[in-house]
């Protein structure tokens, strides 16, 4: 997982994805990392053509979905 706190990997062959999370985080760190990786999973095929940033993984559609997931997660008692 390199220096990442989490990682989403998709296998085209089996059409399944895996979210990996570094296990040295506290509960809130795990929740935060999971919500980010879930947003990556939900937006993996979206391409924002108007985005000129150098980071293709954190495009405007990703941030929009991440915000929706974060808002839903904050309404839960963990």
In a domain? residue 47: yes
| Phi-psi domain of 15 (left: phi exceeds 0; alpha: psi -120 through 50; beta: other) | left
- Does any domain span residue 1? no
**Residue 54 to residue 63: CA distance in whole angstroms:** 15
Q: How far apart are CA 65 and CA 47, in angstroms?
A: 13
Domain extent, residue 36, equals 6-74
- 67, part of any domain: yes
Residue 63, domain member (yes or no): yes
| Total domain count, the chain | 1
pLDDT of res. 3: 67
The pTM score is 0.81
What tens digit of pLDDT does each residue of 32-59 get? 999 999 999 999 888 776 666 677 778 8
């Amino acid at each position: 997982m390199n220096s990442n706190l989490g990682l989403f990997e998709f296998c085209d062959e089996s059409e399944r994805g895996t979210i990996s999370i570094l296990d040295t985080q506290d509960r809130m760190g795990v929740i935060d990392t999971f919500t980010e990786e879930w947003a990556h999973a939900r937006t993996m095929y979206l391409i924002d053509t108007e985005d000129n940033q150098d980071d293709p993984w954190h495009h405007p559609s990703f941030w929009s979905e991440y915000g929706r997931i974060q808002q839903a997660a904050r309404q839960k008692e963990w």
